[in-house]
Structure 1
Amino acid sequence: MKTLHVTFFSSIISLFFTFSAAAQTVEAESGVLTGGANIQSCSGCSGSAMVGNLGGPSNGTVVVPVNVSSAGMYNLTIYYCTADPRVIYVTPNNGNYTGINCAPSGGWTTVGSTSINVSLNAGSNTIRLDNGSGGWGPNIDRVTLQPATTITFGAGNYIYYNLATGKYNVYFNNNLVITDAYASCNSNNIYYSHTGYTSRVYAATPVSDAFGSGTKHTITLSGGGLIPMQQVFYTYAGKNYFFTEVLLNGTGANCYRMSPLTTSTAWVPGSGDMRALKVPFDNDAWIRYDAQTFSAANFTGSEVAALYDNTSRNGLVIGSVEHMHWKTGITVTANGNNTLSTLSAYGGYTDGTLTHDGRGHGWVNVGGSTCKSPKILVDYESDWRTAFETYGSANLLAEPRYISSFTGGTPFGWNSWGAIQSSLTLAKANAVVDFFANSCTGFRNSDNTLYIDLDSYWDNLASGGWTGDFSQLTSFANYCKSKGFKPGIYWAPFVDWGKNATGMVEGTSYQYQDCWTKVNGSPMDLDGARAMDPTHPATRGRIAYLVGKFKACGFQMIKLDFLGHATLEADSYYDNSVHTGMEAFRKGMEYVVDQLAGTMLTYAAISPNLATGRYVHMRRIACDAYKDISETGYTLNSTTYGWWQKNLYKYIDADHIVFGTEPIGENRARLTSGLVTGTLITGDDYSATGAWTTAAQSLLQNADLLDIARNGNGKAFRPVEGNTGNQPNELFTATIGGYQYLAILNYGAGAKTYTVNLGRIGLNGGGTYAAVKELFSGTLSSISGNLTVTVPAADAVIYRIDVGAWASTAPVLAKE
């Protein structure tokens, strides 16, 4: 184990200034001034003076000479004064300069600080401070210098931790991306890594876990009468990302908010179409993802955010991979240009709209002597889409599935909520089975089956309600199986629709009012339903009772809905070891999975985007969309920016594929939304005949289309672009087998011509693909360089490109 203590600086030799216990310090006014730079008085500065007029028309500069005994990377902290945002250029040894954004410090005599890492030679060095762009820099009070505690990962990636300040910088591809990040913990007091602690000690230990072999880097902070803190970084061999977390250790360590990464200065390399992606907590209430322009970004999203250049696709993804205790928020605030004034990842996020909470986040580890934040992944890639896919997979590694594995083929099927809804009867359900058995025989998954799922109002088939006779449900399940299909059922285990205070909870001796979730003393309603405490014996008793009934009927699939009700922060929970909404959610979902005992394909509808991954096989990317082009657009906004959740779930799907009486173009678009999301769950009333049956017999029996989902094992398509704000992308692409698929959707009211660059969708743009098929029409063609196609209004096309049928168009030179 290697240990470096903050007071160890014997390797540093100063030419013009003396050592301090924290770091070398040099007053700016002792440097060499040129141009218009001058010394000004400053009551708040050390030495009561500072250097001003840096930059400007006369190009004022100050040059600080330093001398170090060994070559290496050093933390340079710059203390400055400014009343408005300014930039200081830092140039070591007349080399390349780096511009650093300096946020307003509070005035011209109030000192702020920022830091950068500089590479110095053994012996004499110079550091020039100015503003070479012709603008004005801040006034400089002093600088400090000390050897950097260096954490390397990936290729050209570094974390430089400053043991003197408790802050750290992050470089990706040798570019400074995150500056002066720090950790904070909100307990009875707020503890900051850069404030109050008098000792910071670094240690490195090996680690081996689901992410591979790596190193755990721990900075232990103590002293100052504060609860000891640890900042932890995890790096792994060959990985371009790292994880970070923060802990408090000692009496009073429990917290309601913890951030391992907060900074007022962050930048993503790029000069193209810069974007910051806000991600919702769940898929409820027609919520949308929002890829905001970087210069105007201002949001707190849930669990993860992305900062990227859509033109080059370079991008940074920051997000939590742990969801058992905390709701995580990612705050992004722009400076009005391509830098951020706030970037913060923290556990303890609640919001009345996004998380639906009516009170603040609960406390974690109440009564314990240690408290840990969620673990945050930080990944920068040449393609932001790759970073998101890495993030999705990391969630599955960090919190493996609690539910047993599902090994069947990509689910295809039908759900009654698409059209029949409350009119569900046994006769209609059986007639739907007959339609697929007799009139739509080509619509089957790779297991040659379908899931026929009864949604809400399945109890129309239960005489006497939930405590009555389930024989019609058993009859339906048996009829499905007789035709080679798998019967499915629906339930929302954590909600009370009736809101009857004295009503008895099925399967128990409790009244419903005994198990309602309370917020500020009142029952919590969401989506018209009353939330039930997931830890209460009444809630658990009802789960055991009804799941037992479903199993006895022979159901092989269950759709679980309104799971977000189980995540709500509450005044208290029946289980007194539970203090947060996510802890309650975990208890509730684990109990549901235990009762199902591996008997059913488990499918989530309204539910948290990430935390649900441990407990289900399949999840809707968006909810309550049906048939027209606007609803397809809503669904595909979620697929555009949430496709990567396929790396967490076995399958994701696009909600009901309903054709109804819509034009054929809108039907093609609706089917395409399912194919690009990964599975096909239809929803028309196939107990009756209409335009929808004709559409189904055509579209749902097109083998070329069905093979996308069958052979792709539910693979979700990537968006080609990520600059559509809260709207969907028009182009999606995926490689499945030997084919590259390209889906193009026109959501507009008029025809639109698309010219698609093959290189932009991952193909070789320098040749010809000779075997290209548009799958709705069956048209065969070839393409070179660009694909140009006109798509009618509210319509879609899907191209299948044989990547093996490519030939270079370059001329072949004859041999001499």
Structure 2
Amino acid sequence: MRFIPFLLCCLCLKVTTATALGDKDTLVNIPFGKNDVNVIKYHLNTGTWDVWFNGKQVITGAYASYKGEKELTSKEMGLGKYSYTPNSTRGGRHNVAWEYNGMHMKQFFWAWPDRNYFFTGFFVEGQQVGANYISPLAGARIVMNSIGDNRALSVPFDNDMWARFTAQPFQQANFTSSEVTALYNNDNYHGLVIGSYRQNVWKTGITVKNSDPNAVTVTAFGGLADNNITHDKIAHGKVVFGGNKCASPWIVVGMYDDWRNGIEEYAATQSLSNKEWGKATPIGWNSWGALQTKLTLSKAKDVVDFFSESCKGFRTADSSLFIDLDSYWDNLVKGGLDGDVSQLKEFVAYCKSKGFKPGIYWAPFVDWGKYDRKMEGSTYSYAQAWTRQNNLPVDMDGALALDPTHPGTKARIAWCLNHFKKLGFQMIKIDFLGHAALESDRFYDTTVTTGMEAYETGMRYVDSILDNTMLVYAAISPTMATARYVHMRRIACDAFSAIDNTEYTLNSTGYGWWQSHLYNYVDADHVVFNKESEGANRARLASALVTGTLITGDNYAEKGLWSNRAMQLLQNKQLLEVIKDGKSFRPVEANTGNKGVNVFVKKVGAKTYLALFNYSNTPFKYTLPLTRIGLSQSTKCYSTELFSGNRSTWSDTIELTVSPSDAVLYLIDKTGKE
């Protein structure tokens, strides 16, 4: 396992104690965090463990579980044997081991004295240990000590089929979250974050079910495969390492004064090997917003002309734009990529002549044709490479899935991507990546047994062919596992111009904003103005600014209400400054269930940005204490509403009314300077 730099510091762990408690129990205390009030208490003879955060018991009765040829739990293993393995760079590993019917089992904990979280995992060694279910944290009763609006967050596996995040009230919690969950109090932000570390073998599920008004039962397990969540119609593939070992996903558990800090820190633990962009925040235009199937070379060049001649203020910080041809760019070719591509070449040259960066679109792991024929760049046929579940090709989103490990799939990827590189494209939007993460009856590479192993194989190969030659933007894709291979990810599914599209987008941004600490950038999809009201246009643009980047999508080959709005809004320097750091805003109120978050905040140096949305058809009044957005109640603040330019002075409590289907965006500065 690899860790980000702050996990690699030289640490001195406090002494762990094992205490005999008569004949009933043998207790091991594993301290972690910055003081003596965070401790894991492992009961060696019952195989269960509890966790105390800040001197209060939060987790009770957790245990490990395995379901292979035999079904085992740590509760039935008898007295466990404790050992401690010091490590000068990782703090140390605490182990509890058992021998049972010829099998060897071990639960381990990594703990650090300067972090309020720990890692735990579980593995089983022996003959025929391959399994598709294993949990290092099962049946844990988790109590929220805070009184008030307690919530449990359900996170979707991907952004396909308009999936939504859901912040369920504790009393109603009953779900399986993908890879991570947060249990928090919306009133004071105190909360617990539980998530997987690295998503390269297992799909990890976290079940959360209410047990009483202030408690839920939680199990974090490797082996999530569900038709609605992961789109799988078969069970998760079995996992075995070296022929005799089944190891669980590593699970991170942390308690925080502000759960938003915690889930951002969780996202950062995943990012050691992620791709770095290292350039200005990408902004630009994508053809799927309005042109869609009607894309032509003439229209694409007219769009370039619009930005070159009529919208000169809409540029990245390094004075460029990405002009991206989405699906149906093949309207510009004859006979395929190895045929007449003169129009594509002309588009690329025209973009570059204006100082812009041309982009293209492709889906590397799907077959839209859905009939057997020769695969491009290979001697294989499509039918040979189709992913199968229950012996049938998997049809999802209107396309058949391709086995990412198949040599035909790889040859096709190399053939297409190398053509795009030769043509001079500087950006690629890759889509329908979730097809590569599906479980399969069998993969061509027999060493690959799970969908996530296949996904890593496929994405690693895509990355190797692109070889850092383009900005890589992921559209439909797994939430967590994609970050190692792309610079930028669309936060949700297709969104266009209407206010309900804005609300849908800001459900994902409001509860998934932390992905901007996982990816270089997350994006709100193509911002389309169309013929919507000024308020709806402001809200849609603000949804992108709140998310962190800005890709537009109107048909700027024609003049209309949308082009006038674009010239007004897209050239506002103060609005473009909002996304200069590329980071998403945080939610202020994370209690909207499966709806969009209404209030967001972001701090950049001494500046504070505040965004408020109204998705309804009636005015809505917001009342916010300054402390709610991280400012002192006694401080006088000066604010500028960036769409209107109106200035205000605030102190103590803010009262703001947002018009129907509209948004406001404030820059707050305690100095009073513009």
TM-score, structure 1 as length reference: 0.79
1:336 CA displacement: 4.0
1:421 is aligned, of 283, 292, 312, to 292
Q: Could you say which residue in structure 2 is the equivalent of 1:319? A: 195
Matches of 2:148 and 2:102, distance apart in 1:
45
1:395 CA displacement: 1.5
Q: Could you say which residue in structure 2 is the equivalent of 1:202? A: 82
1:766 CA displacement: 1.1
Matches of 2:93 and 2:621, distance apart in 1:
53
- Inter-CA distance 784–2: structure 2 relative to 1 (3 Å threshold): closer
In the alignment, residue 375 of structure 1 is paired with which amino acid? W
2:640 is aligned with 1:773: yes
**Contact residue 202 and residue 220 of structure 1 kept, 8 A:** yes
2:98 is aligned with 1:221: yes
In the alignment, residue 235 of structure 1 is paired with which amino acid? A
1:690 CA displacement: 0.6
**Over residues 543-562 of structure 1, what are the superposed CA-to-partner deviations in whole Å (9 max), with x where a residue is unaligned?**
00000100000000000100
Q: Could you say which residue in structure 1 is the equivalent of 2:7? A: none
Matches of 1:264 and 1:407, distance apart in 2:
41
**Contact residue 31 and residue 113 of structure 2 kept, 8 A:** no
Report SS of the residue matched to 2:87. strand
Q: Could you say which residue in structure 2 is the equivalent of 1:393? A: 268
In the alignment, residue 221 of structure 2 is paired with which amino acid? Y
Matches of 2:339 and 2:88, distance apart in 1:
53
1:367 CA displacement: 5.9
1:153 CA displacement: 3.3
Aligned ranges for residues 738-749 of structure 1 at < 5 Å? 738-749=606-617
1:294 is aligned, of 170, 176, 189, to 170
1:785 is aligned, of 642, 652, 665, to 652
**Contact residue 204 and residue 224 of structure 2 kept, 8 A:** yes
**Over residues 290-339 of structure 1, what are the superposed CA-to-partner deviations in whole Å (9 max), with x where a residue is unaligned?**
00010110011100111111111110010101200000000000024111
1:208 CA displacement: 5.2
**Contact residue 733 and residue 740 of structure 1 kept, 8 A:** yes
2:610 is aligned with 1:722: no
- Unaligned segments of structure 1, at least 5 residues: 13-22, 25-143, 807-816
**Over residues 628-681 of structure 1, what are the superposed CA-to-partner deviations in whole Å (9 max), with x where a residue is unaligned?**
100000000000100001111000010110000000100000000000000000
Q: Could you say which residue in structure 1 is the equivalent of 2:504? A: 634
Matches of 1:286 and 1:145, distance apart in 2:
50
In the alignment, residue 206 of structure 2 is paired with which amino acid? I
2:374 is aligned, of 477, 485, 504, to 504
Q: Could you say which residue in structure 2 is the equivalent of 1:252? A: 128
Q: Could you say which residue in structure 2 is the equivalent of 1:176? A: 57
Report SS of the residue matched to 1:662. coil
Aligned ranges for residues 549-698 of structure 1 at < 5 Å? 549-698=419-568
- Inter-CA distance 779–325: structure 2 relative to 1 (3 Å threshold): same
**Over residues 362-396 of structure 1, what are the superposed CA-to-partner deviations in whole Å (9 max), with x where a residue is unaligned?**
01126622221111100110111111101110111
Report SS of the residue matched to 1:207. coil
Matches of 1:367 and 1:350, distance apart in 2:
24
Q: Could you say which residue in structure 1 is the equivalent of 2:670? A: 803
**Contact residue 14 and residue 31 of structure 2 kept, 8 A:** no
Q: Could you say which residue in structure 2 is the equivalent of 1:159? A: 40
Aligned ranges for residues 116-127 of structure 1 at < 5 Å? none
Q: Could you say which residue in structure 1 is the equivalent of 2:233? A: 358
1:205 CA displacement: 1.8
In the alignment, residue 217 of structure 1 is paired with which amino acid? H
Q: Could you say which residue in structure 2 is the equivalent of 1:31? A: none
- Inter-CA distance 498–365: structure 2 relative to 1 (3 Å threshold): same
2:410 is aligned, of 536, 540, 543, to 540
**Contact residue 2 and residue 203 of structure 1 kept, 8 A:** no
Q: Could you say which residue in structure 1 is the equivalent of 2:153? A: 277
Matches of 1:332 and 1:226, distance apart in 2:
33
2:639 is aligned with 1:764: no
2:320 is aligned, of 444, 449, 458, to 449
Matches of 2:221 and 2:80, distance apart in 1:
22
Q: Could you say which residue in structure 1 is the equivalent of 2:351? A: 480
Q: Could you say which residue in structure 2 is the equivalent of 1:239? A: 115
- Inter-CA distance 5–308: structure 2 relative to 1 (3 Å threshold): closer
Q: Could you say which residue in structure 1 is the equivalent of 2:144? A: 268
In the alignment, residue 446 of structure 2 is paired with which amino acid? N
1:529 is aligned, of 387, 391, 399, to 399
1:605 CA displacement: 0.2
Matches of 1:208 and 1:734, distance apart in 2:
37
2:55 is aligned with 1:188: no
**Contact residue 267 and residue 514 of structure 2 kept, 8 A:** yes
1:252 CA displacement: 2.4
Matches of 1:345 and 1:466, distance apart in 2:
46
Matches of 1:731 and 1:301, distance apart in 2:
24
- Unaligned segments of structure 2, at least 5 residues: 1-12
1:4 CA displacement: 9.7
**Over residues 123-164 of structure 1, what are the superposed CA-to-partner deviations in whole Å (9 max), with x where a residue is unaligned?**
xxxxxxxxxxxxxxxxxxxxx344444443343210000111
2:254 is aligned, of 364, 367, 379, to 379
Report SS of the residue matched to 2:590. coil
1:491 CA displacement: 0.3
**Contact residue 149 and residue 162 of structure 1 kept, 8 A:** no
With CA pairs under 8 Å and 6+ residues apart, which has the higher RCO, 1 or 2?
A: 2
- Inter-CA distance 145–546: structure 2 relative to 1 (3 Å threshold): closer
**Over residues 701-733 of structure 1, what are the superposed CA-to-partner deviations in whole Å (9 max), with x where a residue is unaligned?**
1111011112xx211000001110001111100
Report SS of the residue matched to 2:91. strand
Q: Could you say which residue in structure 1 is the equivalent of 2:204? A: 328
Report SS of the residue matched to 1:641. helix
Report SS of the residue matched to 2:421. helix
Matches of 1:314 and 1:2, distance apart in 2:
26
Matches of 1:386 and 1:2, distance apart in 2:
25
Q: Could you say which residue in structure 2 is the equivalent of 1:755? A: 623
**Contact residue 102 and residue 126 of structure 2 kept, 8 A:** no
**Contact residue 148 and residue 187 of structure 2 kept, 8 A:** yes
- Is 411-420 or 267-276 further displaced after alignment? 267-276
1:199 CA displacement: 4.2
**Contact residue 350 and residue 361 of structure 1 kept, 8 A:** yes
**Contact residue 365 and residue 404 of structure 2 kept, 8 A:** yes
- Of structures 1 and 2, the larger Rg is shown by 1
C-alpha RMSD over aligned residues: 1.7
Paired residue total: 660
- Inter-CA distance 231–394: structure 2 relative to 1 (3 Å threshold): same
Q: Could you say which residue in structure 2 is the equivalent of 1:27? A: none
**Contact residue 178 and residue 263 of structure 1 kept, 8 A:** no
Report SS of the residue matched to 1:745. strand
2:388 is aligned, of 499, 518, 522, to 518
In the alignment, residue 316 of structure 2 is paired with which amino acid? N
Matches of 1:805 and 1:678, distance apart in 2:
25
Report SS of the residue matched to 2:278. coil
Report SS of the residue matched to 1:263. strand
